[in-house]
Amino acid sequence: MDHILSVLVFFPAVAGLLGFVVSKESIRAYGISVAAIEFFLSLWLWFSFDGSYPGMQFVEVLPLIPSFGISYYLGVDGISLFIVILSTFITLIGLIALSIEKDVKNMIVSLLFLEMTMVGVFVSLDAILFYVFWELSLVPMLYIIGAWGGELRVYAAIKFFLYTFAGSLIMLVGMLVMAYLYYQATGVWSFSITEWHRLILPMNYQIWLFIAFFIGLAIKVPMFPFHTWLPYAHGQAPTIGSVILAAVLLKMGTYGLVRLPLPMFPDASVYMIYPVAVLSLIMIIYTAMVAYAQKDMKQVIAYSSVSHMGVIVLGTFAMNPEGITGSVFFMLSHGIVSGALFMLVGVIYDRRHTKLMSEFGGLAKAMPRYATIMGIMVMASVGLPLTMSFVGEFLSLAGFYQISHTMTILAGSSIILGAVYMLSLYKKSFFGDVVHEKNKKLKDLDGKESMALWTLVLVTVWLGVYPKPVLEPINTSVESLVSFMHKKAMTDEAKSVIRPTVIKREAE
Residues 80-119 that bind other proteins (CB under 8 A): 106
Distance from C-alpha of 235 to C-alpha of 307, rounded to nearest angstrom: 16
Q: Give, as ranges, the residues between 237 and 276 that touch other proteins (CB under 8 A).
A: none
d(CA 158, CA 269): 32
Residue count (the chain): 508
Query: Contacts with other proteins in 357-376 (CB under 8 A)?
Result: 362, 364-365, 368-369, 372, 375
Site for other proteins in 461-490 (CB under 8 A): 465-468, 471-472, 474-475, 478-479, 482
* Sign of the dihedral defined by the CA atoms of residues 9, 12, 18, 20, in that order: negative
Q: Is 150 in the site for other proteins (CB under 8 A)?
A: no
Nearest approach in angstroms of CB 32 to other proteins is: 23
Residue whose C-alpha is closest to residue 282's, from 311, 258, 302: 311
Cβ atoms within 10 Å, residue 141: 26
Instruction: Count interface residues toward other proteins (CB under 8 A).
Output: 109
Of 338, 82, 273, 390, the closest CA to residue 398 belongs to 390
Q: Which of 214, 401, 221 is nearest to 322 (CA)?
A: 401
**Is 90 or 362 the residue whose CB approaches other proteins more closely?**
362
Q: Pick the piece of the chain touching other proteins (CB under 8 A) from 195-203, 268-276, 288-296, 447-455.
A: 288-296
Query: SS3 string of 445-508?
Result: CCHHHHHHHHHHHHHHHHHHHCCHHHHHHHHHHHHHHHHHHHHHCCCHHHHHHCCCCCCCCCCC
- Asked whether position 57 contacts other proteins by CB under 8 A, the answer is no
Which of 28, 153, 298, 355 is close enough to bind other proteins by CB under 8 A?
Answer: 153
> What is the dihedral sign for C-alpha 444, 449, 451, 456?
negative
According to the binding rule CB under 8 A, does residue 163 interact with other proteins?
yes
Rank residues 139 and 451 by Cβ distance to other proteins and give the closer one: 139
According to CB under 8 A, which residues from 426 to 445 bind other proteins? 427, 430-433
Give the up-direction half-sphere exposure of residue 178: CA atoms within 13 A in the CB hemisphere: 33
Tell me which of 25, 437, 492, 506 binds other proteins, using CB under 8 A: 506
Per CB under 8 A, the segment of 24-32, 43-51, 253-261, 282-290 that binds other proteins is: 282-290
Pick from 40, 16, 38: which is nearest to 27 by CA? Answer: 16
Residue type, 171: M
Q: Using CB under 8 A, which residues numbered 375 to 414 contact other proteins?
A: 375, 379, 382, 384-386, 390-391, 394-395, 397-399, 401-402, 405, 408-409, 412-413
Q: Is 207 in the site for other proteins (CB under 8 A)?
A: no
Least distance (Å) from other proteins to the CB of residue 63? 8
Report the alpha-carbon distance of residue 484 to residue 477 in Å, rounded: 10
Q: How far is CA 315 from CA 15, 263, 318, in A?
A: 37, 15, 5
Q: Does 122 participate in binding other proteins (rule CB under 8 A)?
A: no
Site for other proteins in 209-238 (CB under 8 A): 224-225, 227-229
- The footprint of other proteins on residues 307-336 (CB under 8 A) is 320-322, 325-326, 329
Least separation, in Å, of the C-beta of 241 and other proteins? 13
Instruction: Rule CB under 8 A: choose which of 41, 84, 123, 172 binds other proteins.
Output: 172
